[in-house]
Amino acid sequence: MKRVARVVSFAALAGTILPPVLFFAGMADIETMKRWMLIAAIAWFAATPLWMRK
């Protein structure tokens, strides 16, 4: 379970970085960027506490 949560959290972190890059490159519009960043942020906040618990 921790391994899956870790993969999801790192993928979500990448999902918060990639949309602005695509937007500035002109490959995505602002609404698409906002939507993907919101989804990635929610996934990150949901997955990260599962594997960072002590």
Question: What is the DSSP code string of 15-50?
Answer: HHHHHHHHHHTTSS-HHHHHHHHHHHHHHHHHHHHH
Whether the pLDDT of residue 1 is over 90: the answer is: no
In a domain, 7, yes or no: yes
Task: Tell me if 38 is assigned to some domain.
Answer: yes
Predicted confidence band of residue 54 (pLDDT cuts 50, 70, 90): low
pLDDT in tens, 17-39: 999 999 999 999 999 999 999 99
Q: How confident is the prediction for the chain on average, in pLDDT?
A: 93
20 located within any domain: yes
Residue 10 in domain: yes
How many structural domains is the chain composed of? Answer: 1
Q: What is the pTM of this model?
A: 0.82
Q: Is residue 40 part of a domain?
A: yes
Write out the residue range of the structural domain in which residue 22 sits: 2-49
**Residue 54, domain member (yes or no):** no
